[in-house]
Structure 1
């Protein structure tokens, strides 16, 4: 395994133990709608990590419900979702090993960045409140897509061939392939159940949490 020139992190399930928090919030925001539609939607959400909340709620109201006022419903749902998850993101546990792993990378002056499907302003505020923001050269999120943000990191010289990308979703895996990054599947609370098998088959690395990466000494 070659030493990466930079390390790029997803957020939910890779830095913060927030996957379940967000999955629960999707269901709570849609309480009162057809229970089977909501259950199917939440299941789809779990299988499509890294996609912004706006696009997900738009799918529910526009494509599943066929609502004429889907844009207004989507905006309201996004606001309700944000209110539910924001405080939780400030309190939830980090993925085991996160602090020690980042400290080790920082001690080697390794460039670090975040590429998340979460709302960019929200993630930056949470990271500032928790004291993480100064560890990352860039923190990118929605409304831009993760592909768009990865291209920005490429232009900035971080998402270069051989850089490491730590993720837990199929989208993360596909982006790593697209940008020729070393992919590390963080299994701790991933909702992509095929992730370990798919990652191994493609030659990526599967680890239970970030403690394991300290031992791998990727930097």
Structure 2
């Protein structure tokens, strides 16, 4: 893909771009919150899909404070996130979930372009998953929550020895687009038709 090959650095979102994980993450939220009213959990699931780039820390807090109207402690949210992470590590380690279209580009170009992951997924879990999936060696760094994606990108830009015009972010959500725009780098949408309207968009890496 010539438009992409002009960049020196690619920042990749993970869920929905490298791994087909969104339905599994939905299942994780349902399992962790199975004791709560189904109607309210459905509200969270809708929020989850609309805000794919946001972390589980934000989503669980949104569920309790905005949907249920309850105050919760940081320790309680961390406990829920740990339970969620254990479920994800069990369910997402299958190579069958890898998106071969994007993975093919990564495998064919990681030696020519510097690649990083910037994800809303928990960083510790994300790094373990990438090792289990045997894809960790393709990336110069693997970065995740609880640090917000906008800050993950900002932090990388401070250490990457290339100008912002040589860096692009590829993602499947409006949150990814926002992280690119706020940090002044290019963006390509992928695997989300809503992003095709007014931005660069990748139909296929082949």
Fold conserved between structures, TM > 0.5: yes
Deviations for 1:163-208, whole angstroms, at most 9, x for unmatched residues? 1211001111112222233322111xx4xx62222xxx13x1232x
Query: Structure 1 residue 206 and structure 2 residue 205: aligned?
Result: no
Contact 1:162 1:180 in 2 (8 A): no
User: 1:117 maps to which residue?
Assistant: 120
Query: Structure 1 residue 60 and structure 2 residue 56: aligned?
Result: no
User: What are structure 2's unaligned runs of at least 5 residues?
Assistant: none
User: What are structure 1's unaligned runs of at least 5 residues?
Assistant: none
Contact 2:43 2:67 in 1 (8 A): no
Residues 206 and 98 of structure 1, relative CA distance in 2, 3 Å threshold = closer
SS in 2 for 1:152: helix
Q: 1:9 aligns with which of 12, 34, 44?
A: 12
Contact 2:61 2:72 in 1 (8 A): no
User: 2:195 maps to which residue?
Assistant: 195
1:57 and 1:123 mapped to 2: Cα distance? 18
Query: Structure 1 residue 177 and structure 2 residue 181: aligned?
Result: yes
Contact 2:164 2:184 in 1 (8 A): yes
SS in 2 for 1:131: coil
Alignment of 1:17-36 (within 5 A): 17-36=20-39
2:75 and 2:156 mapped to 1: Cα distance? 32
Contact 1:6 1:159 in 2 (8 A): no
Query: Structure 1 residue 163 and structure 2 residue 167: aligned?
Result: yes
SS in 2 for 1:116: strand
1:23 and 1:196 mapped to 2: Cα distance? 24
